């Protein structure tokens, strides 16, 4: 079963995302640092079959695989999968995430909700957008940390989640989820957020290498 961000009745939940300076993975922990929720392995392979991101529901690669992300090498959509494509390939649910907007800074995707959620509205179109005004509760956006995103419901313009960057050793930022749409939705939010962040990090690293 996929790990859930839902830890209680509190509407907004915050999770800290870090990436070791010399490591090839992300760690996702509870805001108080007491629970290691996810380990996200990062691959830089050019193989189309190997995911760029593999999400494990635990502190290391011994935990079950619950999601993967394939990022476009040149063009095309991201491929986000819920499930384990190696152990249970036929059970994986795939969604595309496409780059849109000026300079491709918006990342649009959709999710199918359970019938009992959101008064029967099953399909939701969502978009990650850069933001300079919306931050996770208790945080401020720094101009020195440009990778700040908000997840918006395309139909209602409601902000469903927000990622606020942090500066510091191994720090990436804080992901805040504002709605209770179930563990699969939470997992999609996490996976698409980290995929968006990692793609921006690679573009920045590539640009720095070119100008060096």
| Domain range summary for the chain, segments of one domain joined by + | 13-211
Q: What is the pLDDT of residue 10?
A: 46
- Whether residue 11 is predicted with pLDDT greater than 80 in this model: the reply is no
Stated pTM of the model: 0.88
3-state class (DSSP) for residue 189:
helix
- Give the homologous superfamily in CATH for domain 13-211: Tubby Protein; Chain A (3.20.90.10)
For residues 116 and 57, which has the higher predicted lDDT (pLDDT)? 57
Task: For strands 13-18 and 171-177, give the pairing.
Answer: antiparallel
Taking residues 76-83, what's their average pLDDT? 96
Q: Of 52-61, 168-177, 180-189, 199-208, where does mean pLDDT reach its minimum?
A: 199-208
Task: Find, among 42, 112, 110, 107, the residue nearest to 76 by Cα.
Answer: 107
């Amino acid at each position: 079963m996929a790990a859930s961000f839902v830890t209680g009745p509190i509407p907004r939940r915050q999770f800290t995302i870090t990436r070791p300076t010399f490591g090839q993975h992300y760690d996702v922990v509870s805001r108080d640092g007491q629970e290691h929720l996810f380990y996200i392995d990062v691959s830089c392979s050019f193989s189309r079959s190997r995911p760029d991101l593999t999400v494990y529901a635990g502190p290391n690669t011994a935990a079950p695989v619950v999601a993967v992300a394939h990022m476009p090498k040149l063009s095309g959509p991201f491929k986000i999968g819920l499930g384990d494509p190696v152990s249970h390939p036929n059970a994986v649910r795939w969604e595309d995430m496409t780059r849109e907007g000026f300079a491709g800074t918006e990342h649009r995707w959709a999710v199918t909700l359970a019938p009992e959620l959101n008064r029967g509205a099953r399909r939701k179109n969502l978009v990650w957008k850069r933001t300079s005004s919306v931050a996770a509760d208790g945080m401020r956006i720094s101009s020195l940390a440009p990778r700040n995103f908000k997840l918006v419901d395309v139909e209602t313009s409601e902000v469903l989640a927000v990622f606020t960057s942090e500066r510091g050793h191994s720090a990436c930022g804080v992901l805040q989820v504002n709605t209770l749409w179930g563990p699969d939705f939470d997992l999609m939010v996490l996976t698409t957020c980290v995929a968006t962040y990692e793609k921006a990090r690679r573009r920045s690293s590539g640009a720095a290498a070119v100008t060096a």
